[in-house]
Amino acid sequence: MEAGTAIERKDDHGAHYTSTGLPTVKVAMWIFLASETLLFGGLISTYLLYRGRSVVGPYPKDVFDIPYTSVSAFVLLASSLTMVLALGAIQRGEDHRFRIWIMATALLGLTFISGQIYEFTSFFHEGLAIDTNLFGSTFFTLTGFHGAHVTVGILMLMSLASLNSQGRVTKDNPIAVEMVGLYWHFVDIVWIIIFTVVYLIPTGSPHP
């Protein structure tokens, strides 16, 4: 095959392939996720850079409720399990079971987001806003971006359930489910890092 020439074909699963032998949409998704690691890497680094440098409160220890956030972390981890079970169901052609698992995933995602909204509201009532101090700015930016990603994921999950009901996402065309699944698991691994780095690791700051 000459350089620069790509063979493109579309198989009976509805996915496009090039001469690499890999579905283009899946390659694109992995490249997108790789680029997202740089986005979240930048946000997490900024949080670490300004960690313990706020000159006015509230400080992390004043507002964080670790048991509460731990429950949120469990909820998001559970949603990754329901997501893979949904993918397995559609690959086996079990549409009804797929819709149950995919809606369970969306529901767990909604629970997580509701928890985050409650957490943000309670922080605000305790005097922490995005412009209060360096902690507030970096914390709300990082977790807010993550929450926005979860929200987009929930919309995609609900769209999948709807498309499956219409017969547009089925056993013969499961690539969309796989792509949304990759995105959802990525959102989960970002939270794994945020939960440890932001919430669990003590600041070592002289502030209370």
91 vs 6: CA distance, rounded Å = 29
Show contacts with other proteins in window 122-161 (CB under 8 A): none
Number of residues that bind other proteins (CB under 8 A): 62
Which residues, other chains included, contact 104 with Cβ-Cβ below 8 Å and sequence gap of 6+?
79, 82, 86
Nearer CB in complex with other proteins: 124/205: 205
Applying CB under 8 A, which of residues 131, 166, 202, 208 lies at the interface with other proteins?
202
Applying CB under 8 A, which of residues 4, 24, 25, 27 lies at the interface with other proteins?
27
90 vs 18: CA distance, rounded Å = 25
Applying CB under 8 A, which of residues 114, 121, 165, 196 lies at the interface with other proteins?
196
**Residue 22 binds to other proteins (criterion: CB under 8 A):** yes
Please state the closest distance from residue 59 (CB atom) to other proteins, in A.
Answer: 15
Q: Which residues bind other proteins (CB under 8 A)?
A: 1, 7, 9, 11, 13, 15, 17-23, 26-27, 30-31, 33-38, 40-42, 44-45, 48-49, 51-52, 66-67, 70, 73-74, 77-78, 80-81, 83-85, 88, 91, 181-182, 185-186, 188-189, 192-193, 195-197, 199-202, 204
